[in-house]
Amino acid sequence: MSTVEPRVVVRPLATPLPLGFLALCIATLSFSAVQLHWIPASQGHTVALAAVALTAPLQLLVCVIGFLARDPVAATGMGVLAGSWAAAGLATLSAPPGALSGGLGIVLVGAGLAMLVPTASALAKPVAALVMGISALRFGVTGIAHLAASDQWLTVAGWIGVVLAAVSLYAALAFELEATAKRPVLPLLRRDAVATDEEPGVRSQL
């Protein structure tokens, strides 16, 4: 009598963080271009459409993969980012060019506060925590600009967005090179080494 031996097929998950950070870079830089008047306010609808159609779906995908990989910090951060950029994009699409909205301001301040949770939980990975922390600041300051209907605050938010774009681009490159070379290439300043996976196909950290 023959017996059937069970087979385990291992499909390790690649880190999705570079994709999420690059999507963030596109959105924050595009909105900064409008806020800093690098492009006309009439182009804001195109920027908003990109946030809804490009950034939000990609970050939502990263969020789902993060939960599947059992990394709640990355999943939570990317989930909040996806929802926040979608909300900002849809609100901008439905408003006149250059309009500031108190309702959107409240949402963005709330998003900034929400981003503090994954930021505080990601301190073992300082580069990822820095991206999330600057995102929290970017949302908070933008929200204040909308609530106060202030061009000065909007300018500050725009420059914070430029800094966030640079940091997120660096983070994406650093995580991508690490995943490709199987070792750190650019400094990620991790406090602890990445833990050894305890189960086949499961990444303990992204």
What is residue 158's predicted lDDT score, i.e. its pLDDT?
A: 97
Mean per-residue pLDDT pooled into runs of 10, the chain (206 residues):
53 82 97 97 95 97 94 94 97 93 96 96 90 97 96 97 98 92 82 48 51
CATH of 17-181 given 1.10.3470, 1.25.40, 1.20.1280, 2.30.30: 1.25.40
Instruction: Tell me how far CA of residue 88 lies from CA of 31, 105, 150, 155, 188, in angstroms.
Output: 10, 9, 17, 17, 30
What is residue 61's predicted lDDT score, i.e. its pLDDT?
A: 97
What is residue 187's predicted lDDT score, i.e. its pLDDT?
A: 81
What is residue 205's predicted lDDT score, i.e. its pLDDT?
A: 56
For residue 188 the two structure tokens come to: 């990620």
What is residue 12's predicted lDDT score, i.e. its pLDDT?
A: 64
What is residue 14's predicted lDDT score, i.e. its pLDDT?
A: 79
* Residue boundaries of the structural domains of the chain: 17-181
